[in-house]
Amino acid sequence: MNPRIEKIRQLLNELEAEPDARAAAGAGFSALEMPEVIQKIVDDLQPLLTPYDAAFYWFLFRHSIAKDGNPLIRVSTRSLQHAVVRSSYSQAEENTISLGKVQETLRALEQIGAIHKEGEPNRHGTPYRVLVPDEIKACRDHRAARLAAEPELMFPAVREEDGKGRATRLRLFERDGYACKRCGKPLTRFTATLDRVRADDGDSDENLVTVCMACHRRTTE
C-alpha cells in the first residue's frame, strides 16, 4: 500500500478514536469548581447507584471530565472488564467481571442519566458523554428531597460574591430546574447565569431568572 495513503488512514483512525476536543470548550468545567462537582457526585449521584454502577461512573468521570474537562469518552466493553473493578464472584487470578455485567452496568448508568451514548461503536469502542449531577434529573430530584429534609447539609454558608452570592445563585438555578427560561436549553451550574426579567426592578428573587450565556448576551447587546 502507498505509504502516504497508509499514513492518512492512520491519522483518520486516530481522529475517530478521540472524542471531539472542541466539545470540552463548551463544558465550562473549571479546576476550581472540581471539588464541588465531586461533592455533588458523592451527595447526589452515588446514593442512587449500585457499587458496580458507582465504580464505572467514577472510572468514566476520571478519564473524561476530571482528566481535561471534556465530557466525551470512547470505551470498549472488553477494556472495561479489566480496567474498572474486580469481580466479587470469581476467585480466578485474572478475576475480571463478565461482558454481560459490563453491558448491564452501562445500561443502568444510561437509564439514570449519568451517561449518554453519543454515537455508534467502532473498533475503538462506543462514545459516551459523561454527565454531572446538575445535568441529571434524578440527582436534582434527590438533592431537592435532601434539601427539604436536611437543609443544613446542602448549602453551608458561602462568602458572598459580587451580585448574588453563590448559594443564592444555586438556589435560583434549582428553582428554575437548571434550564434557560428564555430558550429552554438544559444548563449546569457552570453554563447558567442569572438575568433580570425587568431591567429596572432590581435583583430580587422574583425579578431574576436562570438563562444561558447566549440569551444573556442578547439582552445586554
Give me the pLDDT at residue 110, please.
96
Euclidean distance between CA atoms 125 and 116, whole angstroms: 14
Cα Rg of the chain (Å, integer) = 21
Give me the pLDDT at residue 220, please.
67
Give me the pLDDT at residue 85, please.
64
pTM of this structure: 0.58
- CB neighbour burial string for 156-195, b if at least 16 within 10 angstroms, e if fewer: eeeeeeeebeebbbbbbbbebebbbbbeebebbbbbbbbb
Give me the pLDDT at residue 186, please.
87
Give me the pLDDT at residue 15, please.
45
169-172: list long-range contacts, CB under 8 Å, 24+ apart.
Answer: 169/194, 172/205, 172/208, 172/209, 172/210
For 182-199, write each residue's pLDDT tens digit. 999 888 877 888 998 887
Q: How many CB atoms lie within 10 A of CB 126?
A: 16
Return the domain boundaries, the chain. 3-41+49-132, 160-220
Give me the pLDDT at residue 114, please.
96
Which residue ranges in the chain fall short of pLDDT 70?
Answer: 1-32, 85-95, 150-164, 220-221
Q: Which architecture does CATH list for 3-41+49-132?
A: Orthogonal Bundle (1.10)
